[in-house]
C-alpha cells in the first residue's frame, strides 16, 4: 500500500491564508485520502472490506423536515462532559452537539468557520479571528470575545486543567481587539492552529467564569445546535433543539436522546426492534444487520489508531531492547483478524490514511512489523529479562470488545517469548485515572486508541517530547529537537521529511506498539435522513443535518 499523495506540495499561486488552510485541513486529512490509503491492499496486507460509499442524504421534494424526536445508541458512556478537562473520545461524543469552537470540521473533514466567521494571518505569528455577532449562549446571554479569551487563558495557564493544553502551547497570548475580534500571537509559526480549534480537544469555548461557577462534568452551557437537558451516567443524554442557534435552519430534530448501550448485542437488538434510530457497530455487527430491509449501513475507514503504551518509568520497560523484543513478538495481522474481524490496516506512529504523513503499511510489514520470535528472545536475553517476566496489562472497553480481544491475542503471542501477560480489565473511569498522572501511571502496558488528531504533531508531541508528562519516561534529545522544529515548520514538504525521520526513530525505540487503524460501521433506520458518517466518527455534523421522514 503506497503513501497517498494529497497534493501538499508548495503552490506558488496561493495566498498565505489559502496555503495555511491547505496545511491544516490537508495536514492532510480529506476523507478521500483516508479511503484511498485504507481501502486498498497489497500482497503483504490482507484486504480490508471495501469501504461502502456513504449514501447521499435523501430528501423528499419538499426537502428536510423540521421536528420530531429521535433516540440514538451511544456505544460508550461519556463519563464527564467537561470539554476542558476530559481526554477520552467518548466525552467529546457527548458534548460535541452543545459546544463549539472558533472553527469546525464538516463531513469532508474540511476546516470551516464556526464561532469565528472569518480570520486573517497578517504574519507567521498572528491569527486574528472575527467572531459571529448575535450568537447566544444556551442561557440567553451574549457570546463575546471575552469568552474566547477566558477559555484560552484557562487552557494556557501554567497549571492548566486542560488535558489537551499541548495542542495550544505554541500560543504566546490572546488579546481582545474589540467585543467581536480576538488576536492570537504565537511563539512560533503554528500550522496546526485552525485544526487544533476544530478538533474540540480543550478548544470548545465556554462562557466567561463557567469553570469556576459550575459543575461542567454534567451541566453544559454552550452555543451549539443542541441544549443539554439531562445527563444520567451509564443511562442516557437528553438534548433539545437550540431555537436561537446561529446556524438556522439547522438543526432539524426537536429532541435527541443518546441511550448508552455499551454492549453491541443490545444495540443490534434495538436497531432491529426500531427503538433506536442510530447505532455504531463493529464490522461483525454490521454484517449481521446489513440485510435488514429497514436499516441503512454506512462503512469506511476512520482515523482511529489502536496502540499499546509502555510505562517507561518502570523496569524492564524502560529498556528499548525489551520494548523492541515485544514488538517483534507481536503479530499485528493476527490481532486485526481476531480483534477487528479483519476490518483494519496496520499503522505506524501517525495513523495510516492521515494525509500523506504515515509510513506505508507494506513498508511496516516487511520491516519492524515482521514477526521474529528468535530475535525477540535474543533481545530479551541481552537485556537480562528472565523467563516468566510478568506484565501488567491495563484494559478497558472504549470500543466495544476490541480492547479485550486484543488483550487476549497479545497475551497468547507473548507466551512465545516467555512474557507472562496479566490482563487487568477495569471500568472506564478507573482506566482513565490509572493511565494518567492522577493514578501515578499504574500499569506496565495499557491498550488504548488514538482518536482523531488535528495535525501530525497531534500523534507525537504529547507522548514523545520528554518534558511532557504523558511521555511516561520516554526521553531522546534528538527526538525533542525534531519535534520542536517540525511543529513550527509551515512548509509541508520540509515537515514530511522530519516526520518520516521521527517515525523511523520511534519504530526503532518502540515506546509504543502501534497496531492498526480500523474500519467503522454505522447503522441508521431508513427514515432517518441526512446523516453522513465521517472518517473521524464524530457525530456532530451528522446529527445537526439529520431529519425524520416518517
Instruction: Tell me the average pLDDT across 96-122.
Output: 96
Q: Which CATH superfamily is domain 302-519 in?
A: Dipeptide-binding Protein; Domain 3 (3.10.105.10)
Whether 520 contacts 304, CB under 8 Å: yes
pLDDT winner (highest mean) among 45-54, 305-314, 423-432 = 305-314
Q: Give the residue carrying C-alpha cell 429521535.
A: 70
361 preceded by cis ω (within 30°)?
A: no
Q: Is 549 exposed, middle or buried (0-12, 13-18, 19+ CB in 10 A)?
A: middle
**DSSP letter at 5?**
-
Checking phi first, is residue 265 left (phi over 0); if not, alpha (psi -120 to 50) or beta?
alpha
- Residue 494 backbone dihedrals phi, psi, to 5 degrees: -65, -40
Name the β-bridge partners of 280. 522
Residue 41 banded pLDDT, cuts 50, 70, 90:
very low
Non-local (6+) Cβ contacts of 546 within 8 A are 70, 251, 252, 253, 528, 529, 530, 531
Give the start-to-end residue ranges of the domains of the chain.
302-519
Residue 191 banded pLDDT, cuts 50, 70, 90:
very high
Residue 52 has pLDDT above 60, yes or no: no
Which pLDDT score, from 0 to 100, does residue 327 have?
A: 98
Which pLDDT score, from 0 to 100, does residue 392 have?
A: 98
Element (H, E) at 540: helix 540-544
Residue 62 banded pLDDT, cuts 50, 70, 90:
low
What are the pLDDT digits (tens) for 213-226? 878 999 999 999 99
Residue 30 banded pLDDT, cuts 50, 70, 90:
very low
The 10 Å Cβ neighbour count of residue 327 is 25
What are the pLDDT digits (tens) for 217-260? 999 999 999 999 999 999 999 999 999 999 999 999 999 999 99
CA dist., res. 55 & res. 250, Å (int): 20
Instruction: Tell me the average pLDDT across 535-546.
Output: 93
CA dist., res. 404 & res. 412, Å (int): 13
- Please give the sequence-ordered ranges of beta strands (E in DSSP) within 7-109, or none if there are none: 69-74, 103-105
What are the pLDDT digits (tens) for 373-412? 999 999 999 999 999 999 999 999 876 689 999 999 999 9
Residue 14 has pLDDT above 80, yes or no: no
Residue 53 banded pLDDT, cuts 50, 70, 90:
very low
Whether 38 contacts 353, CB under 8 Å: yes
CA angle 199, 332, 371 (to 5 degrees): 140
Instruction: Tell me the average pLDDT across 440-445.
Output: 97
Instruction: Tell me the average pLDDT across 467-494.
Output: 96
Which among 474, 11, 53 is positioned nearest to 298, based on CA atoms?
53
**DSSP letter at 57?**
P
What is the percent of the chain where pLDDT is above 70?
88
**DSSP letter at 13?**
T
Amino acid at each position: 500500500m503506497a503513501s497517498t499523495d494529497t497534493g501538499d506540495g508548495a503552490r506558488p499561486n496561493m495566498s498565505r491564508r489559502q496555503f495555511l488552510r491547505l496545511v491544516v485541513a490537508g495536514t492532510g486529512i480529506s476523507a478521500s485520502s483516508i479511503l484511498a490509503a485504507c481501502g486498498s491492499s497489497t500482497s503483504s496486507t490482507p484486504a480490508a472490506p471495501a469501504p461502502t460509499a456513504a449514501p447521499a442524504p435523501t430528501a423528499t421534494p419538499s426537502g428536510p423536515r423540521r421536528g420530531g424526536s429521535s433516540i440514538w445508541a451511544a456505544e460508550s458512556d461519556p463519563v464527564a462532559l467537561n470539554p476542558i478537562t476530559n481526554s477520552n473520545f467518548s466525552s467529546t461524543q457527548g458534548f460535541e452537539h452543545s459546544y463549539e469552537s472558533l472553527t469546525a470540521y464538516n463531513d469532508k473533514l474540511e476546516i470551516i468557520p464556526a464561532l469565528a466567521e472569518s480570520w486573517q494571518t497578517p504574519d507567521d505569528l498572528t491569527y486574528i479571528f472575527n467572531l459571529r455577532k448575535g450568537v447566544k449562549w444556551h442561557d440567553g446571554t451574549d457570546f463575546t470575545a471575552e469568552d474566547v479569551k477566558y477559555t484560552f487563558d484557562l487552557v494556557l495557564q501554567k497549571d492548566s486543567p486542560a488535558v489537551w493544553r499541548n495542542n495550544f502551547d505554541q500560543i504566546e497570548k490572546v488579546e481582545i481587539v474589540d467585543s467581536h475580534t480576538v488576536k492570537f500571537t504565537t511563539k512560533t509559526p503554528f500550522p496546526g492552529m485552525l485544526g487544533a480549534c476544530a478538533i474540540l480537544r480543550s478548544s470548545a469555548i465556554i462562557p466567561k467564569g463557567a469553570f469556576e461557577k459550575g459543575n461542567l462534568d454534567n451541566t453544559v452551557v454552550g452555543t451549539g445546535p443542541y441544549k443539554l437537558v439531562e445527563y444520567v451516567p451509564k443511562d442516557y443524554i437528553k438534548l433539545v433543539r437550540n431555537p436561537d442557534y446561529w446556524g438556522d435552519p439547522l438543526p432539524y430534530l426537536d429532541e435527541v436522546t443518546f441511550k448508552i448501550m455499551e454492549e453491541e448485542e443490545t444495540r443490534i437488538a434495538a436497531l432491529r426492534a426500531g427503538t433506536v434510530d442510530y447505532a455504531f457497530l463493529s464490522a461483525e455487527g454490521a454484517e449481521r444487520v446489513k440485510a435488514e430491509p429497514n436499516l441503512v449501513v454506512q462503512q469506511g475507514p476512520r482515523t482511529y489508531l489502536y496502540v499499546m503504551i509502555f510505562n517507561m518509568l518502570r523496569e524492564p520497560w524502560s529498556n528499548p531492547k525489551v520494548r523492541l523484543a515485544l514488538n517483534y513478538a507481536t503479530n499485528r495481522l493476527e490481532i486485526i483478524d481476531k480483534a477487528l474481524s479483519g476490518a483494519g490496516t496496520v499503522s505506524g506512529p501517525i495513523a495510516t490514511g492521515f494525509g500523506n504523513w504515515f509510513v506505508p503499511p507494506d513498508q511496516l510489514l516487511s520491516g519492524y512489523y515482521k514477526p521474529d520470535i528468535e530475535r525477540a528472545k535474543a533481545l530479551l536475553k541481552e537485556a537480562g529479562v528472565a523467563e516468566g517476566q510478568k506484565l501488567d496489562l491495563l484494559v478497558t472497553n472504549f470500543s466495544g470488545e476490541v480492547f479485550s480481544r486484543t488483550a487476549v491475542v497479545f497475551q497468547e503471542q507473548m507466551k512465545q517469548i516467555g512474557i507472562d501477560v496479566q490482563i487487568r480489565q477495569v471500568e472506564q473511569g478507573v482506566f482513565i485515572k490509572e493511565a494518567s498522572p492522577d493514578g501515578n501511571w499504574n500499569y506496565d502496558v495499557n491498550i488504548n486508541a488514538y482518536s482523531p488528531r488535528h495535525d501530525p504533531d497531534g500523534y507525537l508531541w504529547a507522548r514523545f517530547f520528554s518534558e511532557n508528562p504523558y511521555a511516561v519516561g520516554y526521553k531522546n534529545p534528538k527526538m525533542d529537537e525534531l519535534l520542536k522544529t517540525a511543529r513550527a515548520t509551515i512548509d509541508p514538504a520540509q515537515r514530511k521529511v522530519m516526520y518520516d525521520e521521527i517515525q523511523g526513530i520511534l519504530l526503532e525505540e518502540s515506546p509504543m506498539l502501534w497496531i492498526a487503524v480500523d474500519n467503522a460501521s454505522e447503522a441508521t433506520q431508513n427514515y432517518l435522513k441526512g446523516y453522513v458518517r465521517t472518517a473521524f466518527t464524530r457525530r456532530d455534523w451528522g446529527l445537526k443535518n439529520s431529519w425524520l421522514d416518517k
